[in-house]
Chain A
Amino acid sequence: MIEIRGVTKRFGAFTAVDNVSLTVNAGEFITLLGPSGCGKTTLLRLLAGFETPDEGAVLLDGVDVSHEPPYRRSVNQVFQSYALFPHMTVKDNVGFGLRMQNVPTAEAEGRIRDALATVSLAEQADKLPHQMSGGQRQRVALARALVCRPKVLLLDEPLSALDAKLRHGMQLELKHLQRKLGLTFVFVTHDQEEALTMSDRIAIINKGKIEQLGDATEIYHRPRTPFAADFIGQANLLAATIILRKGATATVRLESGLELVVACTDLPASATKALVSIRPEKIHIGRVPAVAENVFQAKIEEEIFQGATDQLRLITDQGTKLHALVANESATQVAFHEGDRVYCSLHLDDIVIVQAE
């Protein structure tokens, strides 16, 4: 469907996109996720045709479109600011693309009506953009892009201007729409939660390169770089020395001396040092030790009540500082308090080596 082949884009001395290759399959929801300035928007603009690559090529259905202007590419974009034409009614905004393609009036009317119905705005066709709420404008922008039946829909942080509640609603709605219509979405966001909720696959982008590409669970549970581990969710990143290897497991010693058993299928044989990532909610906290490969004791330094969860800052007996999350399952649950000594249990699969040398 879309193929990005070794694309590089520079702005002066700054390399915004650095030799990126990526294939987007038909009907897929792929998210480009990264901090601001990482090059995700530039990558999207290369797909839309607003930028041309300095190196490499962008292929759409097998055809090299790298140097085609945006008005000759059958991709459409939903802009962060929506970019609705302020002087046109909702109907005329949605119909603009069809007008540019000289679609006959009768057909255009039908398609505009369908598109507005799809985003539940059939009643608002004659309003002007400034008479609508942010959420409604967002839907108009979506309808305006969808009505052109693009091969790929590009979405540039389309939900960032909405308030939290509306945003969550729109996330699910967008996802359903994409599934129902079988469209290909390329979605850009810096919000990791949004990415996890909506995407079939996520490409984590950092400094113009793809750090990791995979589905949400893979990205979350098996981060492959320290950046990926840290950017998605929360992570305890700990430096360790590899002291013993036995088949698919290895024993590592943290700087404090705490020893952990970890899974090490991808670990190069020559590696002696590693950086491990532990998700805070995967550390099981209890008054008694649970059955796991790794069990150690720690003291609670700080406890922060967050509603659904309790955030704990722990220090192990050896002196390693850890960050843990426990679910507040019941109001009557005996809570953990500062100063308590607890048992921490960790499965070896929940400790991920994100860097080794």
Chain B
Amino acid sequence: MPASATRPLLPSGLKLLNWFLRGWTALVFIFLYVPIAVLVVFSFNSSRLNIVWESFTFDWYAKLFANGPLIKAAKNSLIIATGSTVLSVIIGTGGAWLLHRYRYRFSQAIQTLVAIPMVMPEILMGISLLILFATIGLKLGFTTVIIGHVTFSFPFVLVAVQARLQGLDPALEEAALDLGATPLKAFWLVIVPCLKPAIIAGALMAFTLSMDELIVTFFIRSASAVTLPIQVFGLARVGLNPMLNALSAIFIVATVAFVLFSEYLKKLSR
């Protein structure tokens, strides 16, 4: 690491500005994380109300795990998120490679069309998918939900991988071909490993998007393929309940673990 990297970017002479920036940073963090902290704290509150603290309890966690439909919905969500992530990674990575490597007559148009699902209102997407499935006679269920999730997840993988490809030396593929690798082997043995960070980032994005998607899923689910957000939404309409706090707390812990783990993977691959 060069010596200059250890020097703070802001001159230490600007004391007042330094203090202001520190204060500002603290405010941003309070704004972001205090609600989450409160939510986690109240998941251990024996009162039904999320406003006053009574006493410490694990009851809500016990209730949460005893709630059959909720657990079932969580399982469904995991299955759907895993399925749609795998498909998104395959379609997104392959698509990015083909768009990057080959020039089509409509490359630019394809590029734009691919990006649209990222910004399209979810409600439109839900309705259009429902009409599509009804037209072709596909029964609603896990398949339709996974297909629906893939349509808005894979562009994120594609865009992440494309960004990585931009910076990749085009000679890498040629070197592999030159050394006797077929185009498929060159892609699998040389290009894919180089894209790994982008693929992981895209996959995390796809997984997260699928886990908390509500609106599209609402249109294309069946009674058996209820996802966690839909179940939670149903419960919340009846009234907020510390059990949902407990659920959220678990999710927060899982998310943090997930992020730490992926950081660890990144470090390992370096």
* Chain B residues within 8 Å of A84, by CB: 175
- Contact residues, B167-186 vs A (CB, 8 A): 169, 171-172, 174-182, 185
Q: CB of B23 within 8 A of chain A?
A: no
Decide: B174 and A96 in contact? CB cutoff 8 A: no
Q: CB of B99 within 8 A of chain A?
A: no
Decide: B180 and A71 in contact? CB cutoff 8 A: yes
Return B69 CB to nearest CB of chain A, in Å: 45
Decide: B174 and A71 in contact? CB cutoff 8 A: no
Neighbour of B178 across the interface among A71, A80, A86, A101, CB < 8 A: A71
Q: CB of A83 within 8 A of chain B?
A: yes
Decide: B177 and A71 in contact? CB cutoff 8 A: yes
A-B contact count (CB 8 A): 62
CB within 8 Å for A76 and B176 given contacts A81-B169, A85-B190: no
- Contact residues, A23-50 vs B (CB, 8 A): 48-50
Q: CB of A181 within 8 A of chain B?
A: no
- Chain A 80-95 against B: per-residue CB contact (8 Å), 1 yes, 0 no? 1101111100000000
Q: CB of B71 within 8 A of chain A?
A: no
Chain B facing A: main interface SS: helix
Q: How far is the CA of A77 from the CA of B181 in the complex (A)?
A: 14
Return A144 CB to nearest CB of chain B, in Å: 7
* Chain B residues within 8 Å of A76, by CB: 178-179
* Chain B residues within 8 Å of A81, by CB: 169, 171
Return B192 CB to nearest CB of chain A, in Å: 10
Decide: A48 and B178 in contact? CB cutoff 8 A: yes
Decide: B172 and A148 in contact? CB cutoff 8 A: no
Neighbour of A83 across the interface among B172, B180, B182, B196, CB < 8 A: B172
Q: CB of B244 within 8 A of chain A?
A: no
CB within 8 Å for A69 and B179 given contacts A80-B171, A81-B171, A83-B169: no
* Chain A residues within 8 Å of B174, by CB: 48, 50, 70, 77, 79, 83
* Chain A residues within 8 Å of B169, by CB: 81, 83
Return A261 CB to nearest CB of chain B, in Å: 52
Q: How far is the CA of A144 from the CA of B171 in the complex (A)?
A: 14
Return B172 CB to nearest CB of chain A, in Å: 5
Q: How far is the CA of A48 from the CA of B173 in the complex (A)?
A: 13
Q: CB of A223 within 8 A of chain B?
A: no
* Chain A residues within 8 Å of B194, by CB: 85-87
Q: CB of B141 within 8 A of chain A?
A: no
Q: CB of B121 within 8 A of chain A?
A: no
Q: How far is the CA of A79 from the CA of B170 in the complex (A)?
A: 11
Q: CB of A100 within 8 A of chain B?
A: yes
* Chain B residues within 8 Å of A148, by CB: 179-180
Q: CB of A208 within 8 A of chain B?
A: no
- Contact residues, B154-209 vs A (CB, 8 A): 169, 171-172, 174-182, 185, 189-190, 193-194, 196
* Chain B residues within 8 Å of A53, by CB: none
Q: How far is the CA of A71 from the CA of B182 in the complex (A)?
A: 6
Decide: B175 and A85 in contact? CB cutoff 8 A: yes
Least CB separation from B186: chain A residue:
A71
Decide: A77 and B185 in contact? CB cutoff 8 A: no
Decide: B179 and A96 in contact? CB cutoff 8 A: yes
The interface of chain A, by Cβ under 8 A from chain B, is 48-50, 69-71, 75-77, 79-81, 83-87, 96-97, 100-101, 144-145, 148
User: Can you list 17 A-B pairs with a CB-CB distance of less than 8 A?
Assistant: A49-B177, A49-B178, A50-B177, A76-B178, A79-B175, A80-B171, A83-B175, A85-B175, A87-B194, A87-B196, A87-B269, A97-B180, A100-B180, A100-B185, A145-B179, A148-B179, A148-B180
